């Protein structure tokens, strides 16, 4: 098991957390968890998704006939507002302002603070950002906290019988990731992200963002509900 | 009259324009107007307010118990997303990325492009930003495009009999501006803004953002519906 | 009393300190005081005013017929040179370079160092800067170190009988602050600053910059000579 | 045909051009071609690959046991040196310094100058950069100038009988792009790039970088030797 | 003669110009001259020295026991305030903000605007900055406008009989440049500057800053009072 | 002796170290030495030279007829890639990204991290950079690690009988430093560097970069093989 001495942890948090009151307590609890964990020497990178407001802005932009690339930029800016909210919750332990490029991310990381980012570049999801930064810092764990709770054998939003997989091989994961990419709409995990985690064999797990106690278990190396990616 | 040779124009656009479908055509029409006017040598600075999404984010932040200063920062970020939308509508004539400080604004202004900004600093509204940049570039006109259409003798949202003033003395304006300042909630025009326009006697008019033909009349020096500020 | 556990302290230092030899020892003593206090866990933000050289430059600019907004920018640059002098006195404990915007200030603050700033934006004094940053970091105390020693019941430079007030209500303070704003000439405290400290109820005291032992008393929560602002 | 009014052109130039004396004249000729074309109103973005020196540095880094993400960063820096060489060849028409992020790219693009970039982010090739910027500016043509001359029905370096395809469907192209991604080693075109050009249907052609007259034909909409990507 | 088609001109202006009222008209006249000349296609870089206020600040710093390197930084900041004054006099034709590094200078230069700089790095004078930027842009002329009027056969401030040299060989110039370098005190021209102008054979003349008509003659290639540097 | 309490150490490392496999172990050993020393409170600045790849790029640039100033810029960029390699070897203790100006260097230095830089400005070698930063931070020791091992009484590459000097007076050193400066070709130590170390009397030693144990002796204040500069 890789659970001993986990030190550098990346958590990708779905943008939906910022959508409504359901997320308030979750955000507070995640902040508390992270602040607690850094006391024992762990370092954290949090990656915030865009959520409903990103989609609303992208919709507005589409009505204004903006191009796909620009719509992505708009979505990225919204994800950075989410990142800012998260950063201010973490107080003086968080790096500010929110890094807007890899250069700025590296500067932020060397500061020793918790680094919170949103999107970075059109054509890729915040999942790809999470994978890029996880590889750069040689992360011990990448937690993908979504609103579905892991990888299922079929779409859990359509099929109530869908079964959560405890483990999935990285190649199988690749097969089920669709190639469809529209601004603001990315699958569970995108291909750039996948290539990166595969080449550097970064420990990756998918779980539900709304169950903070479960996130704690995952980063402490305990039993958690969700899906672990396996490299052979 | 000051209407001859108007060349440098600042338009402060209420954030409400970005709130719903009502604003789509207005944004498109303002963009067209500005793109038409720069062909004749005029230069423009557009200042975007925060609107509904800024208020929503500030509300979210308040539930998360963030401080007033931080809530302002969040509102500022949202106004910058609005500014970005506006900038991309203007295409290659707009300066990008959105300036985040006076230094960046000056760099943007010297580029010769249309400059679009949102907020800049906690404790002041986007109205103050509009006044600061108008003074810095020695603007010939500052248009404050709101959702009420000008300065009334009483609150038009409460009193249907409220009468729109065609002119108002800068000192009278100062008296009716309340001192109340809470994050994301600023009056018609704030005191910083007022002090600046007063000391440099910047021509200032208030009018309705939703009537683009009226905005055209105002910047062409014609008869418009709204309120003009008078310096004695 | 708010004197227990004062941790985040903002000191606005009048630019006059940098004007002549009278200020040399004061600057050295303030540096020593701050370096001593950070050892016990306190964090400091120092805000340097512009002083005589700012006024000289502004006068030069006025002869060159520069606009009010630009004159403010010139004054701001001079205040940053003062800030730089102060920063180098503090050695490796000070953040460099001097932050030029709110973004840069936030980055500086998260570094854990002493942050020293000058002005930031035309149309507002360094007092406003002090209030903005005090609110942003949720400061426990804002010390306004001037060359008059506090708030008097009349102008102490004109009336030798003027009496120093030990306390003043924030609303009374507001009334006595004049609305006059010319580049490089700002009253004791300006309105933006006042609105900010009022909305966030930031503990604020006015005292004499030349008596460093008195500043020490103030930040240690002891009896000091000067004026405390009261919020009801 | 899309050849009428081609205005915004992105040329991705293989890093091999910078490897040895063979490339000297090519670089000079490409510069002359671009400088000639901008006079007729076309705008250009040039994307420089890393080439031999990038590979040498990555090899050095691998011997020093640096991680894959860091090796990519090193390769990116070398591609930026190549971009700098290209930029200085173009003289005062080129934007400097070389943009290091999407923010900086947008600023460069709005300047009206020729923009030259290298890599931008670990985990993606300079082909992906070319696709991202082509989409952002709504490019009329993306020319991928390689050292093989187009897409073949088999590997031309292994099979001398390999036949150059005049056209290839975007889906077929996707199939032949391998998923293998190691630092400094990317296939003909990567998946991120492909997804972007597919969603925005950006006209894309592959041709040989060493035949500048052929590049001229391609950007003038004439008959050229190489492969055109077809969207159905 | 090199006087035909002079296009890129660097003028180093002594900081003394900013010291007192004697310089007011000179600054205005130099601005007018430059604004007139850019209409005919010439491009200008102005380099402002530090002058009296730089020396005052350095003296203050020395009393505060700051190190030589830091004193240089302080002097550089003051020269940048001078550069800012000059830039605002030139209005919208000047690049802002004042470039603080070679990277920023290059960005400024590619903007097509007049670029105004002050110092850049400790250990070198603003003369060295002038030489560095003159070489970078391949300048056609470097005018060193001092308060003595050229190179004399002995010190004109001590010896009233000192004779102004019309020409001086670059090697002779090297010999008479003293090696003494203290913060804020640099000779006529420093060694870095000399090495650069020598290796790139940049046309260099020394003349009096207070005679703007003479500066005009020099940049128009006419007869002027001052010293021309000769390369053999 | 100055060997007690050495705390701030600058090591200039010849770019040749990055040229071939001979340097691999040296780089690793220097990194280990620095990482070991910072644990006892020492602070380090490492300055990387350009080496063979810088010369190759400069040669390429010269074939492309780029100017001397631009060739220096290219060499500087390559030295920064070397600095990046070194920085990533030092892991989380190194500041990233590599500072590109004095402003950025100061920010990096105040972070408390090991700072690694390459070149900074055309017309000066990385030796000058080392001297400038050594003076700015008031360094206790500047180690110039070359590939010849110190200062000899004649050129050791031509004369096998050349004798290594144990000490050299700063004035004698000045005399033997040639004035020749071509892009990418700088002598042992340049004049700017010399003026700076002379005015601030910075302890300076020259030694061989390939003998890391000898470097250790030098920074520990013990007997080392190399040349010490003497100030009288």
> Residues F33-49: pLDDT tens digits?
999 999 998 999 999 99
Radius of gyration of chain C (CA): 17
CB-based contact E2:E221 (threshold 8 Å): yes
Which positions in chain C touch E60 (Cβ < 8 Å)?
18, 24, 85
For D103, the token pair is 């923010």
C-alpha E23: how far from chain center: 15
Greater confidence, E3 or D113?
A: D113
Radius of gyration of chain F (CA): 17
C223 class by beta-carbon count within 10 Å (0-12 exposed, 13-18 middle, 19+ buried):
exposed
Q: Are strands D167-169 and D227-230 parallel, antiparallel or unpaired?
A: parallel
Q: What is the pLDDT of residue D84?
A: 96
* Euclidean distance between CA atoms C120 and C178, whole angstroms: 21
* Residue A31 distance to chain B (closest CA, Å): 11
Q: What is the pLDDT of residue F170?
A: 92
Calculate what percentage of chain F has a pLDDT beyond 70. Answer: 93
DSSP F12-25: EE-GGGGTSTHHHH
* Lowest-confidence region among B173-177, F74-78, F121-125: B173-177
The nearest alpha carbon in chain B to E90 belongs to B110
Q: Which of D179, D128, D66, D188 is nearest to A198 (CA)?
A: D179
Q: Are strands C167-169 and C227-230 parallel, antiparallel or unpaired?
A: parallel
Greater confidence, E176 or F106?
A: F106
Give the residue from B87, B93, B94, B97 with the most D CB atoms within 10 Å of its CB, the best one to mutate: B97
Q: In what order do the strands lie in the sheet with D227-230?
A: D115-117, D43-48, D8-13, D141-146, D204-208, D227-230, D167-169
Q: Which residues of chain D have pLDDT under 70?
A: 1-6, 178-188
Bond preceding residue B97 cis, omega within 30 of 0: yes
The angle at the Cα of B174, spanning B170 to B177, to the nearest 5 degrees, equals 135
Alpha helices in E90-114 (DSSP H): 102-110
* Euclidean distance between CA atoms C212 and A123, whole angstroms: 57
Greater confidence, C98 or D195?
A: C98
- Residue E118 pLDDT exceeds 80: yes
Which of C68, C104, C195 shows the shortest C-beta gap to B135? C68
Q: Which value does ipTM take for this structure?
A: 0.89
Beta-sheet strands, E only, within D27-154: 43-48, 115-117, 141-146
* Euclidean distance between CA atoms D26 and B155, whole angstroms: 70
Interchain CB distance below 8 Å, B74 and A64 = no
C-alpha torsion sign, points B182, B185, B187, B188:
positive
Q: What is the pLDDT of residue A2?
A: 38
The angle at the Cα of C45, spanning C43 to C46, to the nearest 5 degrees, equals 135
The nearest alpha carbon in chain F to C114 belongs to F110
Listed in sequence order, the residues at least 6 apart from F213 whose beta carbon sits closer than 8 Å to its beta carbon are: none
Which positions in chain E touch B111 (Cβ < 8 Å)?
111
* Euclidean distance between CA atoms B84 and D87, whole angstroms: 28
The angle at the Cα of C77, spanning C197 to C144, to the nearest 5 degrees, equals 30
Q: What is the pLDDT of residue F183?
A: 47
- Residue C190 pLDDT exceeds 90: no
Q: Which of C221, C224, C169 is nearest to C194 (CA)?
A: C169
Fold annotation for A8-230: Carbamate kinase (3.40.1160)
CB-based contact A131:A193 (threshold 8 Å): yes
Interface of chain E toward chain C, CB-CB under 8 angstroms: 18, 21, 24, 27-28, 53, 56-57, 60-61, 63-64, 66, 70, 73-74, 77-78, 80-81, 84-85, 88-89
* Euclidean distance between CA atoms F148 and F227, whole angstroms: 11
Give the residue from D123, D126, D174, D189 with the most A CB atoms within 10 Å of its CB, the best one to mutate: D123
Q: How far is CA A48 from CA A78, A191, A210, A211, A214, in A?
A: 10, 19, 14, 16, 19
Q: In what order do the strands lie in the sheet with F43-48?
A: F115-117, F43-48, F8-13, F141-146, F204-208, F227-230, F167-169
* Euclidean distance between CA atoms E207 and E209, whole angstroms: 6
Bond preceding residue B161 cis, omega within 30 of 0: no
Which positions in chain E touch B113 (Cβ < 8 Å)?
none
Q: Do chains C and A touch (3 or more CB pairs under 8 A)?
A: yes
The three-state secondary structure class of F125 is: coil
For A23, half-sphere exposure in the C-beta direction (CA atoms, 13 angstrom radius) is 23
Stated as kind and residue range, the H or E segment containing A44 is strand A43-48
* Residue C7 distance to chain B (closest CA, Å): 17
Q: What is the pLDDT of residue A21?
A: 92
Q: Do chains C and D touch (3 or more CB pairs under 8 A)?
A: no
* Residue A147 distance to chain C (closest CA, Å): 31
Alpha helices in chain B (DSSP H): 22-38, 51-63, 68-89, 102-110, 126-136, 170-176, 191-200, 212-219
CB atoms within 10 A of CB D155: 9
Mean pLDDT by 10 residues, chain A (232 residues): 63 95 95 96 96 94 93 96 96 93 93 95 93 95 92 79 92 70 54 88 96 96 95 89
Q: Are strands B227-230 and C43-48 parallel, antiparallel or unpaired?
A: unpaired
CB-based contact F204:F142 (threshold 8 Å): yes
Which of F69, F138, F182 shows the shortest C-beta gap to E135? F69
DSSP chain C: ---TT--EEEEEE-GGGGTSTHHHHHHHHHHHHHHHHHTTT-EEEEEE--HHHHHHHHHHHHHTT--HHHHHHHHHHHHHHHHHHHHHHTGGGB-SSPP-SHHHHHHHHHTTSBEEE---STTS-HHHHHHHHHHHTT-SEEEEEESS-S-BSS-TTT-TT--B-SEEEHHHHHHHS----BTTB--SS-HHHHHHHHHHT--EEEEETT-HHHHHHHHTTS--SSEEEE--
Q: What is the pLDDT of residue A4?
A: 41
* Euclidean distance between CA atoms A156 and A188, whole angstroms: 12
DSSP summary character for residue E224? -
* Euclidean distance between CA atoms E140 and E5, whole angstroms: 9
CB-based contact C134:C65 (threshold 8 Å): no
Which of D67, D100, D123 shows the shortest C-beta gap to A101? D100
CB atoms within 10 A of CB A153: 13
Q: What is the pLDDT of residue E223?
A: 94
* Euclidean distance between CA atoms A45 and A65, whole angstroms: 35
Long-range contact pairs involving B20-24 (C-beta distance under 8 Å, separation at least 24): B20/B52, B21/A63, B22/B210, B23/B210, B24/A60, B24/A63, B24/A64
Greater confidence, C149 or A6?
A: C149
* Euclidean distance between CA atoms B121 and C117, whole angstroms: 15
- Residue F191 pLDDT exceeds 60: yes
Q: What is the pLDDT of residue D179?
A: 42
- Most distant CA atoms of chain D, gap in Å: 52
CB atoms within 10 A of CB D32: 13
Stretch F69-78: mean pLDDT, rounded? 95
For D116, half-sphere exposure in the C-beta direction (CA atoms, 13 angstrom radius) is 27
Q: What is the pLDDT of residue C2?
A: 38
Stretch E76-84: mean pLDDT, rounded? 97
C-alpha torsion sign, points C217, C222, C228, C230:
positive
Listed in sequence order, the residues at least 6 apart from F158 whose beta carbon sits closer than 8 Å to its beta carbon are: none
Stretch F173-192: mean pLDDT, rounded? 61
How high is the mean pLDDT of chain C?
A: 89
Alpha helices in E7-67 (DSSP H): 22-38, 51-63
Greater confidence, A184 or B96?
A: B96
Interface of chain F toward chain E, CB-CB under 8 angstroms: 67-70, 73, 100-104, 120-124, 128, 131-132, 135-138, 174, 179, 181-182, 191-192, 195-196, 199-200
Greater confidence, C41 or A156?
A: C41
CB-based contact C75:C54 (threshold 8 Å): yes
Q: What is the pLDDT of residue E181?
A: 40
**What is the pLDDT confidence band of residue F188, given thresholds at 50, 70 and 90?**
low
* Euclidean distance between CA atoms D142 and D134, whole angstroms: 7
* Residue B166 distance to chain C (closest CA, Å): 25
Which of C103, C110, C111 shows the shortest C-beta gap to A94? C110
Q: What is the dihedral of CA D51, D52, D58, D64, to 10 degrees?
A: -160
- Residue B178 pLDDT exceeds 80: no
Listed in sequence order, the residues at least 6 apart from B150 whose beta carbon sits closer than 8 Å to its beta carbon are: B164, B165, B206, B207, B208, B225, B226, B227
- Residue C29 pLDDT exceeds 50: yes
* Lowest-confidence region among A157-166, B20-29, C93-102, F193-202: A157-166
Which positions in chain A touch B24 (Cβ < 8 Å)?
60, 63-64
For D102, the token pair is 């999407």
Number of cross-chain residue pairs from A and F with Cβ atoms under 8 Å apart: 16
């Amino acid at each position: 098991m890789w659970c001993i001495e986990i030190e550098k942890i990346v958590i990708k948090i779905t943008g939906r957390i910022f959508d409504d009151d359901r997320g308030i307590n979750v955000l507070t609890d995640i902040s508390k968890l992270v602040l607690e964990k850094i006391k024992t020497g762990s370092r954290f990178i949090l990656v915030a998704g865009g959520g409903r407001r990103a989609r609303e802005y992208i919709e507005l932009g589409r009505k204004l006939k903006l191009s796909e690339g620009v719509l992505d930029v708009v979505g990225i800016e919204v994800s950075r507002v989410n990142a800012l909210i998260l950063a201010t919750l973490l107080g003086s332990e968080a790096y500010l302002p929110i890094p807007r490029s890899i250069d700025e991310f590296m500067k932020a990381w060397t500061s020793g603070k918790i680094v919170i980012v949103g999107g970075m570049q059109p054509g890729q999801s915040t999942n790809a950002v999470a994978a890029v930064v996880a590889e750069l810092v040689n992360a011990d764990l990448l937690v993908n906290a979504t609103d579905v709770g892991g990888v299922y054998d079929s779409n859990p939003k359509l099929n109530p019988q869908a079964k959560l997989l405890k483990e999935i091989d990285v190649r199988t994961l690749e097969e089920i990731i669709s190639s469809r990419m529209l601004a603001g709409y990315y699958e569970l995990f995108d291909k750039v992200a996948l290539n990166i985690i595969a080449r550097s064999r970064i420990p990756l797990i998918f779980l539900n963002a709304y169950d903070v106690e479960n996130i704690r278990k995952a980063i402490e190396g305990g039993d958690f509900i969700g899906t672990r990616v396996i490299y052979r």
